Each structure stands twice: as structure tokens, then as C-alpha cells.
Amino acid sequence: MFGKACFIRAFEGALARAYDAGEVPGLVHLCTGAEVAEVALADALDPAVDQVTGSHRSHGLVLAMGADPLAVAKEILGRIGGLSDGLAGTQHLIAPENGFLTSNGIVGAQVPLAAGAALTAKVKGAGGVGVAVFGDGAANQGAVLESMNLAVALELPVLFVMENNGFGQSTASTYASGSTSFTQRAASFGLVAMQADGFNHIESQQVFAQAVKKARKNTPVFVEISVPRLDGHYYGDDISYMPEAHMKDTYDDPLHVMRQFLEESGTSASVLESIMLKQQARAVQVVAEASSAIKTGPLEIKAWHQSLEAVRG
């Protein structure tokens, strides 16, 4: 888990450098601070039967589920050979063979999609779980609340994971939400509602394992996990709206907390350092290889339109 989380951190660091060099089309939303939580979630899932959906901030999630990092990097950079041949980009990552159904740029829209995946799993009897990962901002979207209601009414094998990073873009969740507790709100829908501390990888792992076990038996579950947002809303965001308590320099980092825990539990500092360096080198190499791949251009876009027309008949 530590190696995977280090890889995600370094992968997004390398992406940020590629962004600085003008290699990334559009904006990128980094998951810095949520890597450990997302690796813990993936640890509880079975990519052969489960399907996860995520938000605009899903690079870490798709990697945690085991998607090919080179194909992910090429997709984000708009290159041929990306998950969708570079046509979809950073906010629409798709790797269903790795248990990652899709991410979605429309805030909250991934949640009914996961409920749909759960319904499919239930109808097919394949034993799979649909998992929606979304933010505290998305938690106030109507489609999310409708999905929670339907999940209970239809007894869906679904897990709702709300990453509470305290912000929806530049708006504090304490300002934007009428109810003071998201967990209580979920419980009032009839969901089994749990909380996890995203700074504690063991607790996160245990809560997700328990939640998935229940969801597999058609008991829909909601987990609120607290994570810090260690970067801006998107990379390069002017974060002057953030109170000091949330700034990178003053906020704890779950990856550092995990490393410290592992060291105190007997793993030598040099072993941890070498894991981190190895993952950093791998991530830099993957993003460099993606950067040198051929850019998706008008020919690929035209071919995509033609295939769409063919499907439409």
C-alpha cells in the first residue's frame, strides 16, 4: 500500500511538471492527500467483479484499482494509446477491466452510475459491488441524494464513499452544507453509515473491508472519509481563499503519517526510502514515455465520430 501511494504521489508530481511544460490539455485536479485513502479502498475491492466510479479528481483512484499507468498518463496528456486513445482526458478515465467503470466531470454524476453498476451486478448475480467515490461538494447534489434513496429502496450492493476534504472548489463544506453531519444524513436515508480517518491507513483499510462485506450482501453502505486537500482545487489554483489551517505547510500529510507509522512499527527507514525512490523513478519514466507519444489529433477525433455514427446506425 505504501509503494502504491508513493507511486500515485510521484505520478501526479510528474504530471504537474508536464503541465508546467504545456504538455497537458485542460486543467488537472490532483488527489494529493487522498492517495492513502484511495489505496485502502482499492485494497478492499475485487477488480474482477466490482466497478468504481469517480469524480474529476480520479487519477489516484484509477491507478489504485490497477489500471496501466502508461495508458492513464497517455490519456491525461491526450496521446494515442491512452485509455480512450487520448480523446477523453483527465476527467473521463475508463478502465472497466480493472474495476474502474468511469470518472465524470459533472459533479455528482458518477454516483447514479455506480448505483446502476450495483443494480447490474445484482441482476446478473455476479457478486459485484458498485462503488461511488465523490466529494463533500457532490454530496449536496440531487442525483446523489436520489441514488442513496434508491440504493436503500432497491437493496443495492453499493458503497458510497464520500471524501471530505473540506472544500467544494473554493467553498468550505461547512458553509455549503445545511446539515452538520454527512454521516447522520446518510443514516437517515437508511444506509449503514460509517466514518474513517484518511490519516490512518489501518483504520481506513478496516472500515472499507467491513463496508464492502456488507455491500456485497445487498446492504448499501456510506463511508465518510476525511482527507486533506494538499493542493488547490486544480493544479495552479490560487489558494488564497484557503484558511491557514488547510495550507500545505501546516497540514499533516497522510503519506508521511503512514511512513512514520511503518518506521515506528519496525520497517527500516532505508527500506521505506528505497521503496519511495523506486516508485518515484518509475512514475517519472512513465510520464516521460507518455509525453513522447503521438498526440491525439483530428484524424482520431474524426474516426471516433464515424464509429459513433455507425453505432447510431
Ligand X SMILES: Cc1ncc(C[n+]2csc(CCOP(=O)(O)OP(=O)(O)O)c2C)c(N)n1
Comparison of 91 and 98: residue with beta carbon closer to ligand X: 91
Residue 163 Cβ vs ligand X, minimum distance, rounded to whole Å: 6
Select the binding partner of residue 90 from Mg ion, ligand X, none (C-beta < 5 to 8 A, by kind): none
Helix (H, G, I), strand (E, B) or coil at 94: coil
Helix (H, G, I), strand (E, B) or coil at 232: coil
Interaction site with Mg ion (CB under 5 A):
135-137, 165, 167
Q: Which residue is nearest to ligand X (CB)?
A: 135
Distance CA 108, CA 145 (A): 10
Contact 59, 123 (CB under 8 A): no
Comparison of 85 and 136: residue with beta carbon closer to ligand X: 136
| 96, three cell numbers | 472497466
Helix (H, G, I), strand (E, B) or coil at 237: coil
Give the torsion through C-alpha atoms of 183, 185, 190, 195, to 10 deg. 0
Residue 44 Cβ vs Mg ion, minimum distance, rounded to whole Å: 22
Interaction site with ligand X (CB under 6 A):
55-57, 105-107, 134-138, 165, 167-169, 233
Select the binding partner of residue 128 from Mg ion, ligand X, none (C-beta < 5 to 8 A, by kind): none
Residue 242 Cβ vs ligand X, minimum distance, rounded to whole Å: 12
Host H or E run for residue 263: helix 254-264
Residue 69 Cβ vs Mg ion, minimum distance, rounded to whole Å: 25
Comparison of 85 and 231: residue with beta carbon closer to ligand X: 231
Residue 183 Cβ vs Mg ion, minimum distance, rounded to whole Å: 15
For 209, list phi and psi in degrees, rounded to 5: -60, -45
